[in-house]
Amino acid sequence: MAQRARSVRRHARLAVAFVLAALLACPCTMAASTCTGRFPNPITDICWSCIMPISLGGLSLASIGGQEDIPNPGSPLCSCGVNPTVGLSIGFWEPVRHVEVVRRSFCLVSLGGVDLNPGIAAPDAGRSVDAGGDQNSFYQAHFYANPVLYWLNVVADFPCLEKGSFDLAYLTEVDPLWNDDELTLILNPEATLFANPVAQAACAADCVAATTGFPRPELFWCAGCQGAIHPLDGHVPYHLGGVRTAELLAQRLTAKLHRELLAWGRHGAPGLCGPYFLPVMDKRAYKSQLTYPIPATAKEAGRCCQPLGRSTVLWGAGKEYPVRGEDFGFMLFRKGNCCVGY
């Protein structure tokens, strides 16, 4: 009897090991059975101190908690138009865009979990393990126009705010480039130049720069500590956690929209007189704040929003949990400089 019991236990262990090996070796879906989410509460889910610092020319006027900033035009005076109107050069960070990274196609988690599927075939998110043992992943992503300051009427008659309403601007499910590494080369053919160990090793410097301040704009093919911007699609060959992967895909989608001229620049001297084409995204012009599943309103080192590419080890810890906590939403604060005429 003892020998038979040992034999049964041995076969049970072998069966469990076989099942685990099969699960790790083959692709597995992460599609949620239901679509859940939450509309970000503008009072409790948005870190309003990220608007700071407000600058006049090169001088910082207001900053709470040592908020980080990029260089502003040096002169406090500016002029715009054919018949120049002299004004003041103002700079601030405007919460104006929202990105969500989701497992289920057409699931709008930032609208409370609305299933928008019109019957179009689109791949759900999934993970797999390649021959080398590395875990790969794929997610869909959505881009919203969300000029919170304008539609809340926080500041009345301020000409520098982007005017508009909350709007779903982009769905990757209807974009054939988002699911194809080769087809997306139409948008970023330069990716072939950086698909080598030397170019990727340079991203370590971008990670250091993003962790201590802002990422390096000249390393435009890097996404800081999250890896590589290219390819501009939803495939991630090194999945090391949901928050990290979602932050990377938020960067990729924003860079993709810049390349498609759907997102423009508003910062620096060129931005004083209005938006301008910026086909290569300036990574320094954005800060991100996690709003879903757990809003990152607790301040890490005095701040609750982070420059693109900053390591998620600190601010992303504990922000992911099974089932309902594996989709992610980010508020994007965009740097803007504006010439306020008088």
Print the domain residue range for 74.
2-341
CB 122 within 8 A of CB 104: no
Residue 20: the pLDDT is 34
Q: How many other C-beta atoms can be found within 10 angstroms of the C-beta atom of residue 230?
A: 24
Contact predicate 122/174, CB 8 Å: yes
Over the stretch 219-234, which tens digit does the pLDDT of each residue have?
999 999 999 999 999 9
pLDDT tens sequence across 171-222: 999 999 999 989 999 999 988 899 888 998 999 999 999 999 999 999 999 9
The CA distances from residue 101 to 20, 62, 107, 310, in Å, are 28, 33, 10, 18
Q: Say what the pLDDT of residue 127 is.
A: 77
User: What is the tens place of the pLDDT at every residue in 130-167?
Assistant: 766 778 899 999 999 999 998 888 776 788 899 888 99
Nearest to 130 by CA among 233, 239, 274: 239
- pLDDT tens, position by position, 275-293: 999 999 999 999 999 999 9
Indicate left, alpha or beta for 288 from its phi (over 0: left) and psi (-120 to 50: alpha). beta
Give pTM, 2 decimals.
0.86
Distance of CA 253 to the CA centre of its chain: 7
Q: Give the per-residue pLDDT at 28.
A: 39
Judged against a pLDDT cut of 80, whether residue 6 lies above it is answered with no
Residue 218 has a pLDDT of 93
pLDDT given for residue 239 in this prediction: 85
HSE of 149 in the Cβ direction (CA atoms, 13 Å)? 23
How many structural domains are present in the chain?
1
| Residues β-bridged to residue 144 | 98, 168
Q: What is the pLDDT of residues 31-69, one digit of tens each?
A: 445 788 999 998 889 999 899 899 999 898 877 767 889
pLDDT at 302: 62
> Does residue 102 have a pLDDT over 60?
yes
pLDDT over 50 (residue 110) = yes
Q: Which two tokens stand for residue 236?
A: 């991630």
Give the chain's mean pLDDT: 85
Report pLDDT for 26.
39
Question: What is residue 288's predicted lDDT score, i.e. its pLDDT?
Answer: 95
